[in-house]
Chain A
């Protein structure tokens, strides 16, 4: 008789330790993996940014320049010329979001599979939108903007303003977290099926043979494709919303 297969464990990020100030700050898997991602991005950027020259650029430099100019063209198309100072933020957002999700491939927990990370992304966008609205319309103009086109729509306008960052955060979190949940369920199901098929063979039967290879195809969709798509979506939405709040002033 074989030992029972452990039920799929889907849990939130583990708390490694707690800093005992301000009522205890929990240092979770998300934070540690997030710092890992930051370290990876910094190292990659450091190595890509070394030995640049204008006379005889290396192949590496040409590739990086191509990448940066692609991003800057996209930014110029979506946000306009007066918002080009957002290029470093959007680039960092894209790189952090994509590498965080891709970290799920290595077996570590993806930082974007935690709602706190994505709410962070969304809150930055939210405060940028409000800041530029106040800056461009003036404080009272910003308040007046809520009661347009008719005054009794004010509650609806406020709700739709708050719903923006919530939907951004939940969209990114839900996509990555559903990948984590479905992957663990698939592993459990494959273990059960291989137990049924070859469980009667004495030694080999205890190895869940179906777990080899099949999850890789799912991982291509859930990790690689979703990571890229969600990073694109969240930077695109940030660009569209913030660019809409800070449109070029007509002369």
Chain B
């Protein structure tokens, strides 16, 4: 393997790891949403179904930034345009 290609591969692996730092944001956000949902269920247990579906919907939308990080990491690992 050429030296430059080896360097690019190593840097891509490090970059993929760095891209997954994006997972922190959705983790915090979804935890916050779940906490608020638990609070809401505690206050109004009869609306549990509505609260759960709203929370899941919001969580999945909030997840998208993390998914972008994941897609970048997967591109770097499996379909690297730089090599």
Asked if A170 and B64 make an inter-chain contact with CB atoms under 8 angstroms apart, the answer reads: yes
**Binary interface encoding of chain A residues 226-248 relative to chain B, with 1 for a CB under 8 A from any of its CBs, else 0:** 00011011001100000000000
How many residues belonging to B are interface residues under a CB distance threshold of 8 Å?
A: 13
- B56 located at the interface, meaning its Cβ lies under 8 Å from any Cβ of chain A in the complex: yes
Is A116 interfacial (CB 8 A cutoff)?
Answer: no
Collect the chain A residues with CB atoms within 8 Å of residue B63's CB. Answer: 171, 175
Given A229-B56, A233-B60, CB of A181 within 8 Å of CB of B74 = yes
Q: Are B64 and A230 in contact (CB under 8 A)?
A: no
The A contact surface, by secondary structure, is: helix
A171 and B78 within 8 A (CB) = no
| A174→B70 contact, CB < 8 A | yes
In angstroms, Cα B63 to Cα A233, docked, is 12
Which of B63, B67, B74, B79 is most buried by chain A, counting CB atoms within 10 A of its CB? B67
Q: Smallest CB-CB separation from A234: which chain B residue?
A: B60
Closest to B70 in A: A174
Q: Which residue of A lies closest to B78 (CB)?
A: A10
Q: Does A54 contact B (CB under 8 A)?
A: no
Q: Is B13 an interface residue (CB 8 A)?
A: no
Structural contact, B64 and A171, CB atoms closer than 8 A: yes
Across-interface contacts of B64 in A (CB, < 8 A): 167, 170-171
What's the least CB distance linking B74 to chain A, in Å? 7
Chain B residues with CB under 8 A of A98? none
A173 to B74, CA, bound (A): 12
> Which of B's residues lie within 8 Å of A, judged by CB?
56-57, 60-61, 63-64, 67-68, 70-71, 74, 78-79
Instruction: Return 24 A-B CB contacts under 8 Å, by A number.
Output: A10-B78, A11-B78, A12-B78, A12-B79, A167-B64, A167-B68, A170-B67, A170-B68, A171-B60, A171-B63, A171-B67, A174-B67, A174-B68, A174-B70, A174-B71, A175-B63, A175-B67, A177-B74, A178-B67, A178-B74, A181-B74, A229-B60, A230-B60, A237-B61
